[in-house]
Structure 1
Amino acid sequence: MLVIFLILAAGSLSTLVFGAPIPFTHSSRSTAASIHSLVKQGADTYTIYGGNGDISQGWPAQSSWVSSFDTMFNNNKFIMQSSCPQWSVPNDSASEINDICNGIKTVARETGIDARFILAIMMQESNGCVRAPTTNWGVRNPGLMQDHNGAATCNENGVQNPCPSSTITQMIRDGAAGTSSGDGLKQCLAESGATDVSMYYKAARIYNSGSIAAGGNLGAGVATHCYASDIANRLTGWVSAAHTCSEATIGSMTGKTTSGGNDNTGTPATTGGNTGGATTVGDPSPSAQKAPGASASCKGWYTVQSGDYCGVVEQKFGITMAQLMSWNTQLSSDCSNLWLGYSYCVSA
């Protein structure tokens, strides 16, 4: 099965996800650096969180989240302003972004859900593009929240531009409050069974995959293994730093590992293991069949997950498309033959 360039990542019972932000160029990293001072708590870094979501296993306390919704929203605005062309649709207008902000606040009041959590899930699902397409891997997932078969969307059977304010709010409501077809964040929070901050990380796992794996590890089970870790990072300030969570290993981890920050250099980040030592970028050996044309002298491997496209792989490992193609010589420049389940060279 081919992973088509710019496709949404596969989820399961509840929703479908991206699992990583839009890829960043050097210029957009500069933009990210210019807004970094707006983060009053937390920082634009990525920390790998493994385990069950509890503070005792290193997951962030709510006091470590970005101090306010408005600050967190402003930090993510530049992504919303530039996230739509990957689907060949117009970017969000200033008015539409304002409608997103107001819509989240409205739905947060209606549901009692922390607005920052709604924002984190929305950015994970669609990067805030109001014209994000509907995906369907057995369940129809439309709109900003890639919700469970909701009615609101601005990109199905035609693209709406502008996207109406009422539709934007309803997309958010469908994801947070749920639909007649399936659960939203409110139900997932209840299903988590927790009353402390871990309920948010557990609810994120449930929203993405429909359940938490036996044993409680939020990186195990089905769908996007790094999803709960990604949400925890978004809540504490992650915007554009390198995404260093490995889908292949997060399910076996407990505790946290601090990794790359946004130093604006674009250099590859290294990630620490559970023992605290540094590891090379990528896995030392392929975990699946090697991609055609993969370098024989490869030092780091990555197995393509559902939802990956070349920009995601580049961002995960801090590499360029030119490097990816040079280490995988049969990979086309449009990324149309990035194959699901094959191991590609990401360091040589």
Structure 2
Amino acid sequence: MITTSFLAAASSLFALSYGAPVPRTNAATPRSPVERDVSYTIFGGDGTTAQGWPQKSQWVDFDTQFNAVKDVINTACGNHGWGANNDPTETESIYSGIVAASESTGVDKEFILAIMMQESKGCVRAPTTNYGVRNPGLMQSHNGAATCNEGGNVQTPCPQQTIHDMILQGAGTITGFGLQNTIELSGASDVSKYYKAARIYNSGSVDASGNLGAGIATHCYASDIANRLLGWTSMSESTCNEGAIGSIGGSASNGNGNAGTPVEEEPEEEIPKTEEPTTPNNGETNPTAPKAPGAASGCQKWYTVQSGDTCENVAKASGIDFNKLKSLNGGLDSNCSNLWLGYAYCISA
């Protein structure tokens, strides 16, 4: 999955975790893509319209959205060093693949497109990442199979069937953890189910507080998706602050007219870190929580990640340093962007 630095930990979902569009009778008159991509609206809180998140009637329709991001799609591979840019046939296959996946899964085309743009910017040769779970292709799907860039083996052109499979494996339930399933896992029946589903697709869970900017992985992920659904193409700068969005309880306008309920100003200080224990945690010998992918074989002690944990405080709480924690848990990346809530990590072997 691609995050702000691209191909970070978007779909590194829990190892256990994991359509035809609704007619828009009340949709506002669409503006041009240029008008819509003026600026970014910060969406904080729980994903509900009561906290300012967009109603479905505010989403840009699929064709308008696709045309607005086509330039980004067509230049994404070259911009990120992932091989040749998409040719027209490959980009057309993305369009038809999203339509087919929507019809097959019932997941809205607009939502599939927004997730795809967040993950790969539409490059059909986006590389496969693996931080304990395989995440390939356009959707960086959880344990997906389809890809046109495996271990540096880049395929040009990327076949239409492979492109369609990449999209379906992210949108559907072929691997059990696609958007169709994360929408169900959201437990919501209103429009917030999409924003919650996006957060689950990114990190495997929604923070216990319900705030979509809190917890682990990419804090701005759900806000980014809401903006993409409103027509943001990522060509204008995001003003979402990864360190502060978890403290916001509603939307904050930056002048593009898309803001919802006014909220208090964003605090200047970073969110306080979880208080570290004064004595090391001796760990568990037989954790009941699922064990993190890539943990050392023969591990003797385990630490189960709690809400608010970071690699730094997990390591300190366990009486080790981060390098030791990473060496014992091969699935962790160097930035610790894929620490999974509720999973047990090895702290002694």
TM tier, smaller: 0.5 to 0.7
Superposition deviation, residue 43 in structure 1? 4.8
* Aligned CA distance change for structure 1 residues 64 and 155 (closer, same or farther; 3 Å): same
Of residues 158, 161, 166, the one that matches 1:166 is 161
**d(CA) in 2 for partners of 1:111, 1:166:** 17
Q: Is the Cα–Cα contact under 8 Å of residues 87 and 132 in structure 1 kept in the other structure?
A: no
User: What pairs with 1:271-286 in structure 2 (closer than 5 Å)?
Assistant: 274-276=263-265
Structure 1 unaligned segments of length 5 or more: list them: 16-35, 262-272, 289-304, 307-338, 342-348
Q: Paired residues, what number?
A: 253
User: What pairs with 1:115-264 in structure 2 (closer than 5 Å)?
Assistant: 115-157=109-151, 158-180=153-175, 182-239=176-233, 240-259=235-254
Q: Is the Cα–Cα contact under 8 Å of residues 39 and 75 in structure 1 kept in the other structure?
A: yes
**d(CA) in 2 for partners of 1:285, 1:50:** 15
1:98 partnered with 2:87: no
Q: Is the Cα–Cα contact under 8 Å of residues 42 and 65 in structure 1 kept in the other structure?
A: no
1:69 partnered with 2:43: no
Q: Match of 2:90, as an amino acid?
A: E
Q: Is the Cα–Cα contact under 8 Å of residues 90 and 161 in structure 1 kept in the other structure?
A: yes
**d(CA) in 2 for partners of 1:112, 1:41:** 30
SS at match of 1:231: helix
**d(CA) in 2 for partners of 1:69, 1:145:** 17
**d(CA) in 1 for partners of 2:230, 2:5:** 27
**d(CA) in 2 for partners of 1:59, 1:37:** 19
* Aligned CA distance change for structure 1 residues 189 and 287 (closer, same or farther; 3 Å): closer
Q: Match of 1:79, as an amino acid?
A: V
**d(CA) in 2 for partners of 1:134, 1:106:** 23
Bigger radius of gyration among the two: 2
* Aligned CA distance change for structure 1 residues 207 and 88 (closer, same or farther; 3 Å): closer
Of residues 49, 63, 67, the one that matches 2:43 is 49
Q: Is the Cα–Cα contact under 8 Å of residues 247 and 271 in structure 2 kept in the other structure?
A: no
* Aligned CA distance change for structure 1 residues 175 and 286 (closer, same or farther; 3 Å): closer
* Aligned CA distance change for structure 1 residues 285 and 106 (closer, same or farther; 3 Å): closer
Q: Match of 1:14, as an amino acid?
A: L
Give the TM-score of the pair, scaled to structure 1. Answer: 0.67
Percentage of matched positions with identical amino acids = 52
Give the TM-score of the pair, scaled to structure 2. Answer: 0.66
SS at match of 2:252: strand
Query: Which of 1 and 2 has higher RCO (CA within 8 Å, sep 6+)?
Result: 1
| Cα root mean square deviation, aligned | 3.0
SS at match of 2:141: coil
Q: Is the Cα–Cα contact under 8 Å of residues 87 and 133 in structure 1 kept in the other structure?
A: no
- Equivalent residue, structure 2, for 1:14: 13
Q: Is the Cα–Cα contact under 8 Å of residues 244 and 269 in structure 2 kept in the other structure?
A: no
- Equivalent residue, structure 2, for 1:108: 102
SS at match of 1:259: coil
Q: Is the Cα–Cα contact under 8 Å of residues 11 and 209 in structure 1 kept in the other structure?
A: yes
Structure 2 unaligned segments of length 5 or more: list them: 15-29, 257-261, 274-309, 312-333, 337-349
Q: Is the Cα–Cα contact under 8 Å of residues 126 and 132 in structure 1 kept in the other structure?
A: yes
Superposition deviation, residue 123 in structure 1? 0.1
**d(CA) in 1 for partners of 2:6, 2:249:** 30
